[in-house]
Amino acid sequence: PLTFFDRSSQKMALCKASCSKQCSCSWDIGHQWIWNVTVTVENPLGKKTATDVFDVKHRSKGFFSLCLLCLCVLQHNSSVADSRRVTVRGLRPHTEYTARVRCGAAKHFWRWSEWSQPLTTRTKEGTPSGQLDIWREITPVLGGRNVTLFWKQTPSFQANGKIILYEVTWEKTEETSQPESISFSSVYNSTRIFIDNHSYRISVMAKNNVNFSLPSILIISRATDNCRSIFCTEELKEGQVNGTDDGIFLSWEPESIYDSYIIDWCNFPTLQPCDLQWKRFGPNISSAVISSAAFVPGVRYKFHIYGSVANRASLLEKKIGYLKELPPRLDPTVRKVDLTYNSVTLSWDSYLTNESEPGFVRGYHVYVSPIQGNCNLKGSKKHILSDESELCKYTIENPEEKRYTSLKLLPSSLLHKSVQRGFKTKILKYFSSTANMLYFIFLLVIVPTLVAAICHWKKKWVKEWCCPVIPSPNKSKVLSFKEFKIDSEKVLKINDCLPDMLAMDSNAEAHKL
């Protein structure tokens, strides 16, 4: 049991309660403000007491006419103290906030009241802050250029409301001209405009229900200005870059005149539109890892690196690379194989290196496999296959090479032709053998010579066997008949023999006979 006593008024047993965990007790205080209360707890093992003296007014929860301290808590942990009204400043426009309030005595603070029910409200819209990030793609056409503009919101851009449209404006920079403009719904993030060969200033703004954002500006140079910026990109060679676990690594030579750098690429190089992407970097950055969820192994990606100063961009470098290279799809075609007694010369067609290939052609490998013994050919390196057989590998580092000669081959050698792309090798196999070549020489040279020698040694027997003596018709008994001559030639009369078959050569001859 738990018992409350008032020591100051000598009242006994203000209230009693029986409980096992949390206990409470209440009584009528009347007009008494100061209380000296003793709490006694008793069980079969003994008693314990505790005493507290307090002023009821100091422990009020708002039921008295007192000076109160109120705490108003909003999102972002903002708080302001006041008695009845709270004004919170520095909030973002068009942002939803939730507020709760609790109060406590400003003097002789004891504890806070319970929190009020939450109140959710949204601030009004404001003018957009920051600028859009814009970029362009320029295509030369008859009489001028097609400029495809792209824009996107960056983390530093605050719409401060609902964007309802974008406005694109362009005008010549070299002479006074009337600006042209066009507006688009907020669902669009690109458009295409046509400009002539003059220099142009292009701006893009976002608008909500309050106002426009600050304009984002691009300067497009004249078609004949600074060849590097637009049209003479062919003079820049494409450098090869490598993929990493995080993306494709790029680096470039920084120049102090530029205030920023831009890299653009296509997420889907084989499609139109290709989903052009771009990323900006500060003036002190000279390398980056470009990553995208759209990057896949075996696809070649092109990157253009621009330097920008005063909103005017110039193309600096071009790069090509793969997230990961894959083995080649096709085998190289070997067109000719020339053999000698100790060498073989291979000739093949140029291998295709277009954008559809899943990797770079970095060179060729020629493999020689002695049927017996280990690799000991000069200039080769040992190469062990998965079945632990040993090959001699010759490396051709020039991918433009189309001919190779292996010298000083041993008899009975197996040759393989392959191309290396990245780290993969596996293209073509075929067989050639010096021993077999010597066998052919034996058949074509040695055997005929031997036959000729035997024929010369036994020429009389060979002559009688191959070319027997043909008897003279005049000595034959066939013509031992009574002479009947026609123009000094003996003629056999039909009635002198019994022929098996009679054939007339011609009517004239038959008539003559």
Residues 137 and 215 in one domain: yes
- Cis amide prior to 273 (ω within 30 degrees): yes
Instruction: Please give the pLDDT value at position 35.
Output: 77
Residue ending a domain, among 287, 322, 357, is 322
Give the C-alpha separation, 377 to 414, whole Å: 13
Residues 294 and 345 in one domain: no
Cβ 342 vs Cβ 408: under 8 Å? yes
Cβ 102 vs Cβ 116: under 8 Å? yes
DSSP code string of 261-277: EEEEEESSTTSSS--EE
Residue 15 lies in a domain: no
Low-confidence ranges of the chain (pLDDT < 70): 1-13, 20, 57-84, 106, 225-234, 341-342, 370-373, 406-445, 447, 462-463, 467-513
Cβ 358 vs Cβ 326: under 8 Å? yes
Residues 234 and 271 in one domain: yes
Residue ending a domain, among 322, 348, 364, is 322
Instruction: Please give the pLDDT value at position 129.
Output: 93
Residues 214 and 240 in one domain: no
Instruction: Please give the pLDDT value at position 180.
Output: 93
Instruction: Please give the pLDDT value at position 335.
Output: 78
Q: Which residues pair with 383 in a beta bridge?
A: 391
Cβ 493 vs Cβ 484: under 8 Å? yes
Residues 154 and 217 in one domain: yes
Give the C-alpha separation, 338 to 447, whole Å: 24
Q: What does the angle CA 192 – CA 197 – CA 201 come to, to the nearest 5 degrees?
A: 60
Q: Which residues pair with 85 in a beta bridge?
A: none
Residues 311 and 385 in one domain: no
Residues 100 and 152 in one domain: no
CATH of the domain at 242: 2.60.40.10
Cβ 310 vs Cβ 303: under 8 Å? no
Instruction: Please give the pLDDT value at position 303.
Output: 97
> Which of left, alpha, beta for 29 (phi over 0: left; psi -120 to 50: alpha)?
alpha
What SS3 state is found at 56?
helix
Residues 221 and 142 in one domain: yes
pTM of the model: 0.63
DSSP code string of 317-382: EEEEEESS----SS---EEEEEE-SS-EEEEEPPPP-STTSSS-EEEEEEEEEESSS----TT-EE
Residue 291 lies in a domain: yes
Cβ 148 vs Cβ 190: under 8 Å? yes
Kindly report, residue by residue over 96-120, the tens digit of the pLDDT.
988 888 877 767 777 778 888 888 8
Nearest CA among 355, 365, 358 for reference residue 398: 365
Mean pLDDT of the chain: 77
Pairing of strands 260-266, 300-309: antiparallel
Cross-sheet strand order for the sheet of 96-105: 81-82, 68-73, 96-105, 119-122
Cβ 201 vs Cβ 171: under 8 Å? yes
Cβ 359 vs Cβ 324: under 8 Å? no
What's the number of domains the chain is made of? Answer: 4
Residue 3 lies in a domain: no
Nearest CA among 40, 36, 37 for reference residue 1: 40
Give the C-alpha separation, 238 to 355, whole Å: 12
What SS3 state is found at 184?
strand
User: What is the span of the domain harbouring residue 287?
Assistant: 229-322
Residues 103 and 152 in one domain: no
Residues 238 and 293 in one domain: yes
CATH of the domain at 394: 2.60.40
Residue ending a domain, among 291, 322, 353, is 322
Residues 338 and 351 in one domain: yes
How deeply is 141 buried, as exposed, middle or buried, from its count of CB atoms within 10 A (0-12, 13-18, 19+)?
exposed
Residue 494 lies in a domain: no
Residues 307 and 273 in one domain: yes
How deeply is 368 buried, as exposed, middle or buried, from its count of CB atoms within 10 A (0-12, 13-18, 19+)?
buried
Kindly report, residue by residue over 471-483, the tens digit of the pLDDT.
665 555 555 555 5
Residue 141 lies in a domain: yes
Residue 8 lies in a domain: no
Residue 94 lies in a domain: yes
Instruction: Please give the pLDDT value at position 508.
Output: 61
Q: Name, in order, each residue with C-beta under 8 angstroms of 219's C-beta and a sequence gap of 6 or more.
A: 173, 199, 200, 201, 202, 310, 311, 312
Q: Which two tokens stand for residue 142?
A: 């008859």
Residue 419 lies in a domain: no
Nearest CA among 137, 406, 422 for reference residue 297: 422
Q: DSSP E strands: which ranges in 388-448?
A: 390-396, 403-406, 413-421, 424-425, 428-429
Beta-carbon neighbour count of residue 214 at 10 Å?
A: 15
Q: Is the dihedral of CA 434, 435, 440, 444 positive or negative?
A: positive
Q: Name, in order, each residue with C-beta under 8 angstroms of 107's C-beta and a sequence gap of 6 or more.
A: 58, 67
